[in-house]
Amino acid sequence: MRSFGAHRETIIRSSIAVFGLALAFSAAVLSSAARETGNLLATAVLASSALLLSAVVALATVPYLAKRIAAERVRDALDYQVTKEGLCFIGFVLAIAIAALNTGNNLLFLIVSTLLAAIAVSGAASAAQLRSLELAANFPEHAFAHKPCPAHITIRNQSSWLPVFSIAVVSPRQKESKKVWHWEPTKFEFPKPSAGRQPWVRWPDLKLQRRERAASPPILRQQLYFPYVSPKGSAGAELVLYFERRGRYVQNAFGLSTRFPFAFLLKTRNVVLSRELIVYPKIERTEEFYEMLPLITGEFENHIRGRGHDLYRIRDYQPEDSARHVDWKLSAKTGVLKIREFAREDEHRLRIVFDNAAPGMASAERYERGVSLAASLAFYLAEQNASLTYAAQGLAEPTLWGFMHHLALVEPADDLSILDSLSLGADFNLVLTWRPRGTVVTSVWQSSYVVFLNS
């Protein structure tokens, strides 16, 4: 069944092509018979019908079936899209062809042949220049939502004698979602439960379900135009990418399209070139951000203010030393100011803890604001050269960019709260949690500043 489904559209289009060509042949034969009888109206109608049916078959089925050919050199076919200019030109050719058939004028047949030859030459020229192109795409390593980020696209002409004109780099059309099969846990019950009746048999079971899974949005959403590329030359263009939402953006292919030379067809060659870009949450300094920042920094400074009590050494006073560490008795004996230095305690670090929400705990808008706030605080504190570490459910790499990568892809999940397994140590914890007030573990409040994102 799966094999038939894969070739179903091919079979349908082939059947339409055969049926359409049969009708066109019948109309052509009948038009010849009507001409012999002298019925000019029937001759014109039948001849026009034959030409129109042939054109519909040629446009609707031939390009698609050509791309299904198994030969590798032919399979790299181009996508065709008829333009408005092309439709007008085809209509003009059909009108002259009908007149040529009705009148038998050799000059009209010559004009039709010339016009058809122009279509053939246009197709061959545009296909040749598209096949001689190579594409390179460079995207930034780090990108943030709601912040422009630069990228660079380069095309190279591999032909040593043929220049390239009027090329556009586009994003190929792709489906917004695709249907996938998955196993869903369920229970087998016999008979089916109803009011007042319990099933006799009940045990765990699996059910095969089909659901739609949203495809990753593409990276390139705009068109880049290159008017000319010389033989063995290259052309590059800078573009600015802008992303409305955080997440993973995937580009599996790029399109090279052209209308050259006569704009009858828009031809697009798909270039397989996979790129993935992780867009981090929006970094913004909101009013809430500025309200809690002094509180966080104040609590952290109070946490690290103390010094050790073990005497390390006594040395001469320097202008940057604090007067509270002067050894006044020794200074009086020696006549020189002396400073007592104590062994420092272990270095204190600031740990940012993102306690993820369970599904339904926060609205989508509030959840995005919370993720953005966590990213903004982490990025700001990293810019202040603070000694930072990070913690979150499923965090793979406790570094700044690892934490940003986690926040870019995080979604509400039923995982256990990270606060239940948080080891305090000597770190000062900046905890961002979706849990209600009063449900946070008491020990977390020690050496911590807790931000309740859902309040």
pLDDT at position 333 is: 81
Q: Which residue is associated with the tokens 């996508």?
A: 79
pLDDT at position 243 is: 92
Give the separation between CA 74 and CA 420, rounded to whole angstroms: 61
pLDDT at position 74 is: 41
Give the separation between CA 447 and CA 449, rounded to whole angstroms: 7
447, amino acid identity: S
pTM of the model: 0.64
Q: Which residue is associated with the tokens 């500025």?
A: 290
pLDDT at position 398 is: 85
Distance of CA 100 to the CA centre of its chain: 53
What is the tens place of the pLDDT at every residue in 213-246? 556 788 888 888 999 999 999 999 899 999 999 9
321 is written with which tokens?
């030393």
Give the separation between CA 69 and CA 58, rounded to whole angstroms: 16
Q: Which residue is associated with the tokens 């659901």?
A: 211
Give the separation between CA 162 and CA 140, rounded to whole angstroms: 33
pLDDT at position 282 is: 92
The residues, ordered by sequence, that sit 6+ positions from 319 with a Cβ below 8 Å of its Cβ are none
pLDDT at position 73 is: 45
Give the separation between CA 261 and CA 86, rounded to whole angstroms: 12
pLDDT at position 131 is: 86
233, amino acid identity: G
The residues of the chain scoring below 50 in pLDDT are 1-4, 6, 70-76, 176, 305-308, 343-346, 442
311 is written with which tokens?
């005497």
The residues, ordered by sequence, that sit 6+ positions from 163 with a Cβ below 8 Å of its Cβ are 129, 157, 228, 229, 230, 231
Every domain of the chain and the residues it spans: 2-76+86-130, 133-279, 307-344, 347-452
The residues, ordered by sequence, that sit 6+ positions from 124 with a Cβ below 8 Å of its Cβ are none
pLDDT at position 145 is: 92
CB 417 within 8 A of CB 440: no
pLDDT at position 294 is: 63
pLDDT at position 72 is: 40
pLDDT at position 212 is: 52
Residue 233 CB coordination number (10 Å): 13
What is the tens place of the pLDDT at every residue in 338-360? 887 654 444 557 888 898 888 88
DSSP 210: E
CB 407 within 8 A of CB 279: no
CB 337 within 8 A of CB 326: yes
pLDDT at position 148 is: 92
The domain covering 133-279 belongs, at the CATH homologous superfamily level, to Immunoglobulins (2.60.40.10)
Give the separation between CA 244 and CA 222, rounded to whole angstroms: 14
Residue 360 CB coordination number (10 Å): 7
